[in-house]
C-alpha cells in the first residue's frame, strides 16, 4: 500500500500526537469546507480527488473533525457534521442549491 492509502486508513504517522494535522486530512478538510455552501461535494469530485466512495469520504470527514475539532471554528464543525449526516448523493450528481 502507498503512504497515501495508509493515511486514508488512518495507519500512517499519527500527526495528532504532534499537534499537527496530517496533510491528507488537511486537504480533505479544506475540500469539504469548500463544498459546504453547495451542500457537500458530489461523488464525481470526491472519488478522483481522494480515491474514496461517498460513504468513506463522510466517515473520514467525521473522523478528522472529531480528532481536530479544537482547531476548527465551532460553526464549521457543526456544518461539517451536519453534512456528514446527510444521505449520499447518487454518483456524479451535482449539488442541488
13 assigned to some structural domain: no
- Domain presence at residue 54: yes
In the chain, what percentage of residues exceed pLDDT 70? 68
Q: How far apart are CA 83 and CA 85, in angstroms?
A: 5
- 86: pLDDT confidence band, cut at 50, 70 and 90? low
Q: Which residues contact 4 (CB under 8 A, 6 or more apart)?
A: 24, 51
Number of residues that this document lists for the chain: 97
DSSP 91: T
Residue 45 maps to a domain? yes
Domains in the chain, number? 1
Residue 4 belongs to a domain: no
For residues 89 and 42, the answer to whether their CB atoms sit within 8 Å is: yes
Does any domain span residue 2? no
Note the pLDDT tens digit of each residue in 21-36.
889 999 999 999 999 9
Q: pLDDT (tens digit, 9 = 90+) per residue, 30-79? A: 999 999 999 899 999 999 999 999 999 999 999 999 999 898 999 999 99
Whether the full predicted model's pTM is greater than 0.85, yes or no, is no
CA distance 94 to 97: 9
Residue 92 lies in a domain: no
Residues of the domain holding 76: 22-84
Position 94 in a domain: no
Amino acid at each position: 500500500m502507498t503512504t497515501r492509502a495508509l493515511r486514508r486508513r488512518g495507519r500512517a504517522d499519527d500527526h495528532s500526537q504532534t499537534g499537527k494535522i496530517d496533510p491528507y486530512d488537511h486537504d480533505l478538510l479544506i475540500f469539504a469546507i469548500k463544498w459546504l455552501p453547495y451542500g457537500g461535494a458530489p461523488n464525481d469530485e470526491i472519488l478522483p480527488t481522494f480515491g474514496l466512495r461517498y460513504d468513506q469520504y463522510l466517515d473520514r470527514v467525521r473522523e478528522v473533525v472529531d480528532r481536530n475539532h479544537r482547531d476548527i471554528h465551532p460553526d464549521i464543525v457543526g456544518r461539517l457534521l451536519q453534512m456528514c449526516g446527510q444521505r449520499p448523493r447518487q454518483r456524479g450528481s451535482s449539488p442541488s442549491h
